[in-house]
Amino acid sequence: MEDKALIEEAQRGGHEAFEAIVKRYEKKVFHLAYGFVQDRAAADDLAQEIFVKIYFSLSKFHFKSEFGTWLYRIAVNHIKDHLRKVSRRKEVSLEEFENVPLAMDDQVKEREQRQADDLKKKIVFGVLATLPQKYRMILTLRDVKGFSYEEITRVLKISPGTVDSRLHRARKLLRKKMTPYLGGEGGAYEV
């Protein structure tokens, strides 16, 4: 069944149709949330809240845009609100990563390697979390979620030119903040 038919059915109160919509988009919304919070439980909770919001505002969707775009816009706005609330409570600090030894020997066991990979990933996402929200948002949509420029334009309601320039600035800033972890000149740890 296509999105349109499912949505129309769900708008008429079809619970099974809404279940099908959720199953179709559940992973995408979860991954989007995970890209920002880097915690499975928190991302799951956010995804659930987003779908509750979708359920209660489904009647307001009039097929003026693609359903996916509409859904992602709601998701992005919800995540933005969440991040705003969280940032008031807790500032993400890079200090928590500073004592993590990341230089691994070639002979390390597989389990240790996996743990080390997780740590490296944590560092990158930890640094990402310290960026201004607009940079964090665009990097998550493009480099974590793999959205196309057109999709980002529609979801964030910004021009393609702005997507391009903001993305480049965000990548530059992320790289600059990652410098101590990248090895080479002055680098303390290798990511």
**What residue ranges bind another protein (CB under 8 A)?**
15, 19, 22-23, 26-27, 30-31, 34-35, 38, 40-41, 43-44, 47-48, 51-52, 55-56, 117, 120-121, 123-125, 128, 139, 142-146, 149, 168, 171-172, 174-175, 178, 182, 184, 191
Q: Nearer to another protein by C-beta: 88 or 146?
A: 146
The whole-angstrom separation of Cα 185 and Cα 95 is 20
Q: Nearer to another protein by C-beta: 43 or 71?
A: 43
Query: What is the smallest separation between the CB atom of 178 and another protein, expressed in angstroms?
Result: 6
Q: Nearer to another protein by C-beta: 8 or 45?
A: 45
Q: Nearer to another protein by C-beta: 65 or 102?
A: 102
Q: 3-state secondary structure string, the chain?
A: CCHHHHHHHHHCCCHHHHHHHHHHHHHHHHHHHHHHHCCHHHHHHHHHHHHHHHHHHHHHCCCCCCHHHHHHHHHHHHHHHHHHHHHHHCCCCHHHHCCCCCCCCCCCCHHHHHHHHHHHHHHHHHHHCCCCHHHHHHHHHHHHCCCCHHHHHHHHCCCHHHHHHHHHHHHHHHHHHHHHHECCCCCCCEC
Q: Please say whether the beta carbons of 116 and 32 come within 8 A.
A: no
Query: What is the smallest separation between the CB atom of 56 and another protein, expressed in angstroms?
Result: 7
* Residue whose pair of structure tokens reads 């929200």 in the numeric block: 133
Query: What is the smallest separation between the CB atom of 70 and another protein, expressed in angstroms?
Result: 18
Query: What is the smallest separation between the CB atom of 105 and another protein, expressed in angstroms?
Result: 19
Query: What is the smallest separation between the CB atom of 2 and another protein, expressed in angstroms?
Result: 20
Q: Nearer to another protein by C-beta: 4 or 15?
A: 15
Q: Nearer to another protein by C-beta: 8 or 44?
A: 44
Query: What is the smallest separation between the CB atom of 40 and another protein, expressed in angstroms?
Result: 6
